[in-house]
Each structure stands twice: as structure tokens, then as C-alpha cells.
Chain A
Amino acid sequence: DGGITQSPKYLFRKEGQNVTLSCEQNLNHDAMYWYRQDPGQGLRLIYYSQIVNDFQKGDIAEGYSVSREKKESFPLTVTSAQKNPTAFYLCASSIRRGASNQPQHFGDGTRLSIL
């Protein structure tokens, strides 16, 4: 079955440490997204990418970085500059860039906590 795989499911970060969250999709989707979810705040867009080797900042990109070297993969790095990283992180994809009538497909998320 096609889908989005996020790993790990749980991740702990020490002070001053960078951590990388993995997101892989086998849906052959062009566009990929990273969201942060905090209780009572819905989903907020961190970064998005519509094609390989191109990505754009979302609403809350500070303290995060991404890469898109392959169509299937869109890893997110939470850097030490992100002072409040504790949250649930969701990766999503959609079939075609710019197609606003298409739903987004989501992975099962990574829960990041501070040690």
C-alpha cells in the first residue's frame, strides 16, 4: 500500500542538539509539507516543497531546516535554534504542485520531546 512513513515515532532532544525527522512517501506525489501540531493550535506550516531541490519557508520556519534531494524524501531538521521544539510533527504530501483542490495525505507523525 502507498503511503507516508515518518520515523522515528518518538524522539528526544538534548540541549544544543540538532535532530532530524524522516519522511518518506511512495505515492509519487510532487508536493510535500511539514507541519507542527501543538494542543489547541491546529497545524502550522513549517516548510513545503513542490519539486526536487526546491523548498519554501512556511509560517514558522525559524529554527528548522529541510532538504529535498529525492522526490520520495523530505527530512526535517530541528536545530538548536528552535527553543521550544516539543510538539507533534506531521509530514504530508499532495499529488500535484499547485493543485489546491487535492487533499493532503499525512504520515503518522513524530513526537519530539526535550530531555
Chain B
Amino acid sequence: AQSVTQLGSHVSVSEGALVLLRCNYSSSVPPYLFWYVQYPNQGLQLLLKYTTGATLVKGINGFEAEFKKSETSFHLTKPSAHMSDAAEYFCAVSIFSGGYQKVTFGTGTKLQVIP
């Protein structure tokens, strides 16, 4: 079984400030980890993914995330927030289970950027 916990359903930051969105997971097998972004009334877009190799992963739009196995965390960061970063962000865990790709999504964090 696997689960994803995103701490904070809403996060507010000032424009230019650090963005930190938290994600913790649990999984019975080594998982693959993803962050997606969703703008209003749109689908999810992939920001970045961790599969194997380097634990610090860089994604689009200046975002990055670090996989910490000992902490079972995959927090998303961006050094300087931009107004266009206002959206909802989803962390997801993917494993191979029962012959198919099983993806579990967190409940999402809405990021508000204050000018």
C-alpha cells in the first residue's frame, strides 16, 4: 500500500520569496515520485520526476525537489516565487502493483503568490 501526505492545503508566499511545498510518502516498495501543477479548469502538467539516480531533481519553471529516502520526503522548492506560480500542486507516488502502474496522488496544495 502507498500513501501521500501534502502538508498544508493552502500556502501563501510573497512574490520573490522562497516556495516550499511539502510532500511525505509511504510505500511498501521503492516508489517513483512526481510533482504536477494544475491551473484552474485545466489538467495536470508534469513539473518534475524522480525515478533513479540523483536525488536532487530539477524541473520546469525553476522548480526542484529533493528525494530523501530516510525522511520519506519529496519536498518541492523554488528560490523566488513569481505571480505565474499561483496554482495547485500535486505530489504523486507511482509503483508497479498487480500488473499495472498504480499512482497515488496527494490532496494538493494551493499556492497563492502575494504581490
Contacts and interface: CB of A to CB of B under 8 A. Distances in A.
Contacts of B100: 31, 48, 50, 56, 97-98
Given A109-B41, A109-B42, A111-B41, A102 B101 contact: yes
Interface stretch (A38-46, A60-68, A71-79): A38-46
A42 B90 contact: yes
Interface stretch (B68-76, B79-87, B103-111): B103-111
Nearest to B42: A108
Nearest to A102: B101
A100 B49 contact: no
A82 to B, nearest CB: 21
Contacts, number: 66
What's the dominant secondary structure at chain B's contact region? Answer: strand
A107 B43 CA distance: 5
Nearest to B52: A101
Contact of B94 (A45, A100, A108, A109): A100
Contacts of A112: none
Nearest to A4: B43
B51 A101 contact: yes
Contacts of B9: 40
Contact of B107 (A4, A42, A97): A42
Contact of B108 (A4, A42, A50, A106): A42
A21 interface: no
Given A43-B90, A98-B101, A106-B44, 19 more contacts: A4-B43, A6-B43, A9-B41, A40-B107, A42-B90, A42-B107, A50-B100, A90-B43, A90-B44, A92-B43, A92-B44, A97-B101, A98-B96, A100-B102, A101-B51, A103-B34, A104-B101, A105-B46, A106-B36
Interface of B: 4, 9, 32, 34, 36, 41-46, 49, 51-52, 90, 94-96, 99-103, 105-108
